[in-house]
Structure 1
Amino acid sequence: MSETSNEVGEALAEICEAAAALILPLWRSGLTVVHKADESPVTEADRRGEALILEQLARRFPGVPVISEEDASEFGTPDAIGPRFFLVDPLDGTKAFVRGDTHFTVNIGLIEDGRPVAGAVVAPPTGEAWYTAGGRAMKRIQGGTAQPVRVRPWPPGEAVCLISHTMKEETIQALADRYGFDKREAMDSSVKLCRIAEGAADIYPRHGPTMEWDIAAGHAVLAAAGGRLTTPEGEPFLYGKASEGFRNGWFVARGG
């Protein structure tokens, strides 16, 4: 790997921004949606974004393996993976993308020894980019000057939970009883982790299925911003679960 660990996050942000520029013109363009074996949607935007990311990762980080969503969907995941690899989701929030909503992201995370050590998340509609750099989380908009972001302390009586659009009211109430938040906001994709990282929300409990590439980049950003993502019991959340097809268990992301 040519870049130092401090430089990796910014390099990943540049790649994500290039993929976002490729994807954005396809948003709200009426492009064809097909469905994978698990009935999840995939579009030409997913495929073009992934092709660009894989090419640039191979050029900038030769020899580092990559696990990427669309490739994994078509060809399956490896039975084993080494201690260092990238996780790529070229378009997280495809359902939102198809609906014309703004909550979709481009994601690349670097895993070392089971933990996310660098990552970048870009929201194409707004041009927001969050990434790790020098042990901090940074944010820039439309390629402008980056500023550090940080989680906020838990605000008693005002804590905001991020939920999915499809969550039932009884499920939300059960989560509120368990985690003690006061407000909720619905949104899709890994942008939820970035909103917590920048101090705009406080908790994101996910008691449902996700894949490692869905959250690795956002996890890296959140951790660099002073937040944490753990199992519901508070145990470390690890990556590289090749024997489980890179599927995640439940998790809870929190700010300060």
Structure 2
Amino acid sequence: MTSGYQGRSALQVMSNMDRRIQRHREDHFYAMIGAISTARASSCETSDPCEAFMLVCERKGDYSFIYSAAKRDSTQFRRWRPVSGDLPPILPWHCSGEGQPGHGESEFLYLDQMMVLENHSLDREGEEFVEEWLDSNKIRGVGSLESLQDSAHAALQFMGFKGSPDCISTTHGLFFPCERILADEEITILVATRVRWRFGAPGIAHCYRNAELYTPGVFIGRIDDAVATSVKMS
């Protein structure tokens, strides 16, 4: 962790700390708070160390802590937010960018600079991006009969991803959710553009069937900054 406070995203710190063992659970979160801010945990209106970390992130304007494999809150207007507890990154891998910008309006959070994608077959550019990434890392052999989706999931597993192998295809790439998404759900994929990996970016799926749900995941594909927009969360 050599970059300055303002240059460290919450997700980067979560990834860096993922495999570190602390004697006391609270020490893990106090260390993460110290890595992103000069604020002290005692300045937050909570005694819960995980909640204190998320509050410090929110005050800093970085919501990249939402890209955690943790369960989501079931409270209205907070379904996007992880519940307090462990806060493992969706992928314990080095990321770049200063974080996930967002702002509040009334009770709602708006995630800023998001790329919005729908469930759709890969276009040629998206397919080539995934293939080239797999080839460059020698993950998929020439003439392999393994599907693009299976090869991509195998690569993510090697990197520490523990989510579903059942990806959601979009024009720009493949989204692997933390938990399996049912086929009959209405799905919109929200992909970060201000915090990313070399092969893609973290994202979160907005799912609707009988109720609204948010499922974080890993997007492998091309990022188009030109279409980034603000998205209202619930």
Mark yes or no: TM-score above 0.5.
no
Judging by fraction of residues, say which structure has more strand: 1
TM-score tier by shorter-chain length is 0.3 to 0.5
TM-score when normalising by structure 1: 0.32
